[in-house]
Amino acid sequence: MTGLDNKYKNVKFSVITINYNNCKGLELTINSVVNQRYKKFQFIVIDGGSNDGSLETLATYQDQIDNIVSERDQGVYDAMNKGIMLAKGDYLIFMNSGDTFYDDGTLAIYDERVDGQGDVYYGNTLGLYDSGESLDLIQPAQLTLSFWLFSSLNHQSTAIKRSLFFQYGFYDCRFKITSDWQFFMNLFFQHQLSFIYIDDFLAKYDLHGISSDSSYAVAHTREREDFIENFYPYFWREYIALKDLKYLENKSRRLIHFEHLQQSKISYRLLKSFMDILLLFNPLKIKE
């Protein structure tokens, strides 16, 4: 896989997988990568010194992985930076343990669409729930200020030109959650680089994990707001105004959902019973 030229455009890819004690997810990701029909890519796995059987899994697939590193690191972004240092491809795709390509033809789509002229290529992602349900995460063709302030690109569905890291800096390990978003923000606003949309599903990823943890959500928002306020202060007023607007929109949606439940006698009885139980533990205090 390593060192082979793209048939048409001489563009090479490196797929970087980071893992720590996620043996099941690691094997899922490895199979997704090595089973791609398009074979001309470098495959790198950076493991954080796992002790859950991940190393045994890596040994099983070592002949199909170009570079394997297993050692303690300083977190997700430190591991991703290690992968960047080993990468030889023109474009990097971060497919972390538990994530997968959308299907076995995904890298062929990258090969067809990535012509070397753009800086970042991005596409859509399918989010998966444990229940078996899924959520289409469709990215906008035109990236706006509002998008960047409240969202980001899914790195599983993104190909980033490797030279950008050496020109503008690697992921900042001081931030534990949002460093990839910060990197994209700087490329887009500070350096005004090109982001090209690929209107295809390129990856699948688990919607559970740390992103479903409420404490993670609080820390995530804090990191984003600190970064905007300190590095992009001229966007701060717009951020606060849009945040308030989004809060009102969400509040309005909740009211619509509540009114909808009232139309169903059974659903409304269940909701009312649940509310009554909550009020037993959190009585409403009314001033006379």
Q: What is the pLDDT along the chain (288 residues), one digit of tens a residue?
A: 444 444 446 899 999 999 999 999 999 999 999 999 999 999 999 999 999 999 999 999 999 999 999 999 999 999 999 999 999 999 999 999 999 999 999 999 999 999 999 999 999 999 998 888 899 999 999 999 999 999 999 999 999 999 999 999 999 999 999 999 999 999 999 999 999 999 999 999 988 655 555 668 888 999 999 999 999 999 999 999 888 877 665 544 554 454 454 455 565 456 556 555 655 665 544 444
Region of 264 on the Ramachandran plot (φ > 0 left; ψ -120 to 50 alpha; else beta): beta
Report the alpha-carbon angle 244-126-225, nearest 5: 30
User: In sequence order, what are the residues at sequence separation of 6 or more whose Cβ sits closer than 8 angstroms to the Cβ of residue 266?
Assistant: none
How many CA atoms are closer than 13 Å to the CA of 58, on its beta-carbon side? 25
Specify the pTM: 0.82
CB 125: neighbour CB atoms within 10 A? 25
Pairing of strands 13-19, 41-47: parallel
Report the alpha-carbon angle 137-153-24, nearest 5: 70
H/E element, 258 = helix 236-262
Q: How far is residue 163 CA from its own chain's centroid? A: 21
Are the beta carbons of 104 and 114 closer than 8 angstroms?
Answer: no
